[in-house]
Amino acid sequence: MPKRSKSKASSGRIRYAVVGLGHIAQVAVLPAFRHLGNAELTALVSDDAEKRETLGSRYDVPHVFDYDEYDRALEQVDAVYIALPNSLHAEYTVRAAEAGVHVLCEKPLAVTAAECERMIGACREHGVKLMTAYRLHFERINLEVIDLVRRGVIGDPKFFAATFSMPVKEDDIRADRELGGGSVYDIGIYCINAARYVFGAEPKEVMAFALNGVPDRLPEIDEHTGALLRFEGERIASFISSFTAADTSQYRIVGTKGDIHVEPAFEHREALKYWVTADGKTREVEGKVTDQFGPELEYFAQCVLDEEPGPNGEEGLQDVRIIEAIYASADAGRAMPIPPFEPHRRPSLDQQITKPALGEVDLVNTESPSK
């Protein structure tokens, strides 16, 4: 096990390494550190020398490493932000845990529930925190919608319907099955997690269809998937995720006295907006473009010091269990049960953290995943 240098946690500043310097790391994670008071960017890990040199210089990062030097990187930090392909999340999380380093891992937490459980077990064994990077658990518009539903503004919530779609490039990692690609893993997971936090409940079973009308472009994964989930309290959630349809990002929650429509709902570089209709009146609320990644970095840094994260490893595990059930249902042509689950805590307004919007950045050897 590598020996880490002296931690700065006692002074209230958590040292992070960002592991993987692809698109999301470059446009959102790295620039987010400029607005953090309790965390600092200490190390970068990538197999691309140009990325390490250029981005290390741009953000004044004192330590840069390639993947073969990951154990050395862990000696310099208190926490890692894992932004690697889904298939690598488990390996790099377990190695961090064994080195006594806390882990903030991009969603999905892993490709299989078994991998998630191994990650959770390793972090528990070595006494480190594990958090799934659900940025919308700290974003004002989504948290206000949760609050409106909980306060009964639209009555008893009955059904939820969502779509999240974008035309993904066929050579992107999201289209590679071995790397954990697939529309539900990448974007459908937002719809699943939103249904769970808006209902404040868990699904009991799912029926799904996974289709591919363009096998020449996306031969290894689903083009789009539709799922119907039955929730506790005899409520229903539905969603469609697609890698070939035009951009959409929205959900609607309908209750006995009204409804709330959120659009865009899942984007991180647009102002999110919702319309709430109750008692025959409609009110529109629009947020601002903000940095959605700084809040989760700051929140996790605080959790390292004194509390269990809300979106912890078990929260990530539950969504992966649901994803596995969705694909199993699509393969078998029948409904699949989902094991019971009780979250550590559900997102609420007191988790709201707002950071200034991030500007545009010059990308280094990466590009947007969508056309």
Would you name the residues annotated as active-site residues? 107, 190
Pairwise CA distance, residues 203 & 235, whole Å: 9
CA dist 170 and 243 (Å) reads 9
Using CA atoms, how far residue 220 sits from 176, 179, 180, 223, 356, in Å, is 6, 11, 10, 9, 39
Q: Is 163 helix (H, G, I), strand (E, B) or coil?
A: strand
Cα separation of the two ends of the chain: 43
Burial 260-299 (b: 16+ CB within 10 A, else e): bbbbbbbbbeeebbbebbbeeeeeebebeebbbbbbbbbb
Contact 261, 274 (CB under 8 A): yes
How, if at all, do strands 248-255 and 258-262 pair? antiparallel
List Cα–Cα distances, 339 to 116, 267, 325, 355, in angstroms. Answer: 15, 30, 10, 36
CA pair distance 278, 148, nearest whole angstrom: 11
Report the alpha-carbon distance of residue 80 to residue 114 in Å, rounded.
21
326 Cβ neighbours under 8 A, 6+ residues apart: 184, 188, 206, 208, 210, 225, 227, 336
Exposure of 6 in the CB half-sphere (CA atoms within 13 A)? 2
Residue pair 160/288 in contact by the 8 Å Cβ criterion: no
- What's the distance, CA 343 to chain centroid? 16
Cis peptide before 340 (omega within 30 of 0): no
